[in-house]
Amino acid sequence: MPTKVLRRTVDLSAFPNLVVIYLGMRVNRLTGLKTVFGFGPMISASVAAKPDGLLLHEPIIYSLFPMHAGMRQYWRDMESMLVWSRSDPHRQWWQSFLKDSGGTGFWHETYIRNGGMEAVYDDIPQPIGFAHFAPVVEARGPMFGAAHRAKTPDAGAPVISEKELYES
């Protein structure tokens, strides 16, 4: 006997500036397992702190081999997400990762309801997401920071400057 589908949708009118971000960390070398598992408790603690603007955090396992874990987050707006990402502990994590990936690769893709998308892929050996079909370019100059890539009105400074990253 056929079952009728209970079809639903959502009314996002109360979230005109909604931002959805998918993030992932992929183990590239054996030492990366320690890095990935080390981030779990830190991420859980940061989510438990309920940062302003974070509406929902969902963990995701992309694959077991190679280990590739991540999350999907829903933010009230880009400004909230950028304020959080530029503050501790995230700022410290990002600065540390960009100096030493710990045997992992990291990526994120951001989708902004009122317009704009952006992505970064750091030490990701195989194309994923946008990188499967869009030209991949170096994250330098205007492509260095997420806010600039997404063309947000008040882009502000990235967590670490291009000069700090490449000249230190």
Side-chain-facing half-sphere of 144: CA atoms under 13 Å: 16
Sign of the Cα pseudo-torsion (59, 61, 67, 71, in order): negative
Side-chain-facing half-sphere of 134: CA atoms under 13 Å: 13
CA dihedral 41, 86, 50, 9 (to 10 degrees): -100
Contact 113, 17 (CB under 8 A): yes
Own/partner contacts of 88-92, CB < 8 Å, gap of 24 or more, are 89/42, 89/46, 90/46, 90/159, 91/159
Q: Over the stretch 82-137, which tens digit does the pLDDT of each residue have?
A: 999 999 999 999 999 999 999 999 999 999 999 999 999 999 999 999 999 999 99
Q: Over the stretch 23-64, which tens digit does the pLDDT of each residue have?
A: 999 999 999 999 999 999 999 999 999 999 999 999 999 999
Q: How far apart are CA 77 and CA 81, in angstroms?
A: 7
What single-letter amino acid sits at 119? Answer: A
Q: How far apart are CA 113 and CA 87, in angstroms?
A: 24
**pLDDT, position 157:** 80
Q: pTM to 2 decimals? A: 0.91
Spatial CB neighbours of 59, under 8 Å, sequence gap ≥ 6:
69, 70, 71
Q: How far apart are CA 47 and CA 31, in angstroms?
A: 25
